[in-house]
Amino acid sequence: MSTLKMVRNGIASVGIGAAILLAPVVAQAKEVNIRVQAVIGMQTTEVKMLKDFMADVTALTGGEVTFEVLPAGAVVGVKETLDAVDAGLVDGGFAWTHYWSGKHPAAMLFGSPVAGAGVGIDNIAFLSWFLNAGGKELYERLWDEMGMNVKGFMLQPVGPEALGWFKEPINSMDDFRKYRFRTPPGLPGQSYKDIGVASVAMGGGDILPALEKGTIDAAEWCCPKPDMDFGFHKVLKHYYLQGLHQVVVNADMYLNKDVYNSLTDHQKKAFEVAANASLVKGMSARIYDNGVALHELTTKHGVILHDTPADYFPAYMNAAKALLEKNSAENAFFAEVWQSQKDFAEIAVPFWSGAQTSNAKLGMAYANTLK
């Protein structure tokens, strides 16, 4: 049993007084202040968007629910964030749900379904599955499957993420395999390993120092705006937008379930409404913010934009689908979630991919005039 679990269950004999003081209030509360620890720095775009969600909750509750955002490591380490929420050491946490794939493999299907879940689901289609085709109900069950005393709120959809940053142009998978490449944890990173890429998982704040020290020599994080915030363009100049590893990515807030249960029905509804608004605001903001950042990177910072080598796509897709099949065979809840995504894709993706083809051709026709 972990130390955090012992604190939650009242088993630990040392420091129990402090744990009681930190424990969430379980009675129905009119006014509540919620402390949320993030897994990244306070100046990041993601935390700014998190604060916007919190401001909406505060406004919708007439000031009854307020928040304090704590930076990564303020109470516990990044990797312990969800355990700390579960134990009540912090009221809430903010991260990407695929970070917790070690607790349950199905976490990846909500936080970062590798290669569009292998069935062509992009970030907009993912929201359709989540809100309209049973995804949210499965997400609610995820925490019980993990054994976590947690209520999750999906807030920030992103995607597709860029393939990443390189020292020199890559013209094939053979070129790609020469680099030590920062990747996400879980199945996205494992898929890279399976196609022969030297995949190195690390947190966002560690990437630039690792590039500067030569611990890694290529990296991905997200998209032009967050990537520029982290300063990768200061070290690497060759940038590739098209990647399959995280076509869909979602950042979530986790609330200790005792804290959530202490809220009034009106306060709970405020969380739900604000979370749905955050999904729309997050997705729409990313389009413009990333466009502004990409323009700045290529016009002011000497970044060269490339197309991803063609042989990357079948190699990565095949590896990702093999891992999805393997995890589905090994875990019943993973299989249930993935089947739900496949059932959705069978109906929705033929329409949506066709519509997106028109959108892409429309956009490229205009983009080509700018060249």
List the 218-219 sheet strands across, edge first: 198-201, 180-183, 218-219, 164-166, 238-240, 304-306
Q: pLDDT tens-digit profile of 266-284?
A: 999 999 999 999 999 999 9
Tell me the CA distances in angstroms from 75 to 11, 18, 66, 241, one per residue in order: 20, 13, 19, 36
Q: pLDDT tens-digit profile of 188-202?
A: 999 999 999 999 998
169 is a domain residue: yes
Record the tokens describing residue 163, joined without a space: 């393939």
**Alpha-carbon gap, residue 156 to 128, rounded angstroms:** 14
Range of the domain at 208: 164-247+288-370
82 is a domain residue: no
229 is a domain residue: yes
Under the banding of pLDDT at 50, 70 and 90, the label for residue 29 is low
Three-state DSSP state, 79: helix
**Alpha-carbon gap, residue 97 to 148, rounded angstroms:** 13
Pairing between strand 92-96 and 249-256? antiparallel
**Alpha-carbon gap, residue 21 to 24, rounded angstroms:** 8
Tokens 């700014």 correspond to what residue?
Answer: 48
Q: pLDDT tens-digit profile of 34-54?
A: 999 999 989 888 999 999 999
196 is a domain residue: yes
294 is a domain residue: yes
Annotated ligand binding at 161? The verdict is yes
**Alpha-carbon gap, residue 134 to 129, rounded angstroms:** 7
Q: How many domains does the chain have?
A: 1
- Cα three-residue angle 354-359-364, rounded to 5 degrees: 125
186 is a domain residue: yes
Q: pLDDT tens-digit profile of 309-330?
A: 999 999 999 999 999 999 999 9
| pLDDT higher than threshold 60 for residue 164 | yes
Annotated ligand binding at 28? The verdict is no
Q: pLDDT tens-digit profile of 125-158?
A: 999 999 999 999 999 999 999 999 999 999 999 8
Record the tokens describing residue 297, joined without a space: 């990177």
Terminal CA-to-CA distance of the chain, rounded, Å?
60
**Alpha-carbon gap, residue 53 to 38, rounded angstroms:** 14
132 is a domain residue: no
Torsion, Cα 304 309 314 315, to 10 degrees, reads -90
Q: Which of 121, 116, 77 is nearest to 95 (CA)?
A: 77
Tell me the one-letter amino acid at 165. Answer: W
Q: pLDDT tens-digit profile of 58-68?
A: 999 999 999 99
Q: pLDDT tens-digit profile of 86-128?
A: 999 999 999 999 999 999 999 999 999 999 999 999 999 999 9
Give burial (CB, 10 Å; 0-12/13-18/19+) of 264. middle
In the chain, alpha helices (H): 3-9, 16-22, 45-60, 81-87, 107-111, 114-115, 123-132, 135-146, 173-176, 187-194, 204-213, 224-230, 257-262, 265-300, 312-330, 332-370
Radius of gyration in angstroms for the set of CA atoms belonging to the chain, rounded to a whole number: 21
Looking at 2-6, 226-230, 284-288, which range is the least confident one?
2-6
**Alpha-carbon gap, residue 60 to 68, rounded angstroms:** 17
> Which phi and psi (to 5°) does residue 155 adopt?
-125, -40
**Alpha-carbon gap, residue 303 to 14, rounded angstroms:** 54
Annotated ligand binding at 220? The verdict is yes
28 is a domain residue: no
Return the bridge partners of 251, or none.
Answer: 96, 156
Please report, for the domain that includes residue 200, its CATH number: 3.40.190.10
**Are the C-beta atoms of 256 and 96 separated by less than 8 Å?**
no
